[in-house]
Amino acid sequence: MEFDLLKPGYIIYTDNNAILTTDGIKSSLIAGNASFEGSGYKNGAVSLAVFSGLRGFLQLSKKEIIVVVFDNSCLRMIGRPINMVSDITKPCPAWNGQAGPFLWPNSVVKDNVNLQKLFVTEHRAIQQLTLNSWEVSTFFKSAKIEKFKHLVQDSQGDVFVTAGAAVYKIGYKDKVIQLLAGAPEKSGFD
């Protein structure tokens, strides 16, 4: 959930298959379909675009929102106010079970150290995505830690991330990981 940069006083939030904005009284659809029957994959006009399993999003500006699509394993861009949805990572598969560029992505966050990059959390890794070229590189990967989800970064650049029931700190420069709270777990995805 974030304050809407295009509409002051509004908040943007996601439902499973839709991204919406609200002033606390009325919600309006930015893109997608709020019903489960509307899930899948389709680009184009926001009134026709379809998502499946929206997890996180990031407003790059008043005119651009990146959405994390868990079921399609990719990121997509909502252009505002032109009202179009398009892929930003290739391949972004159609709704047919193909693998996308990420393995079950959950969130996208700006990198405070390198302003030309974004962090994307996924099942067993934290990826970095370069703005405009949309090239993906690995920031941190683990064979033992699963379910990377929420990520924040401190002023020194160190990354704090939830994974399952635990919170970890990962050094920005040395990539050393430290368990801060909770218990590590290894299980299937949720």
pLDDT (tens digit, 9 = 90+) per residue, 32-53? 887 656 567 778 888 888 888 8
State the Cα–Cα distance between residues 33 and 117, nearest whole angstrom.
29
Pick the more confident residue, 6 or 74: 6
Range 142-161 average pLDDT: 93
User: Is a pLDDT exceeding 90 seen at residue 102?
Assistant: no
Find the DSSP H helices in 24-174.
Answer: none
Q: Alpha carbon of 99 to those of 42, 74, 103, 115, 142: distances in Å?
A: 16, 9, 8, 28, 19
Query: What is the set of domains in the chain, with CATH numbers?
Result: 1-93 (no CATH), 102-190 (2.40.10.500)
Q: What pTM was estimated for this model as a whole?
A: 0.86
Check if the beta carbon of residue 48 is closer than 8 Å to that of residue 18.
no
Output DSSP code: residue 37: G
Amino acid, res. 158:
D
Q: Which two tokens stand for residue 6?
A: 């295009």
Q: Which two tokens stand for residue 64?
A: 């651009």
Q: Which two tokens stand for residue 38?
A: 């509307």
Range 66-76 average pLDDT: 86
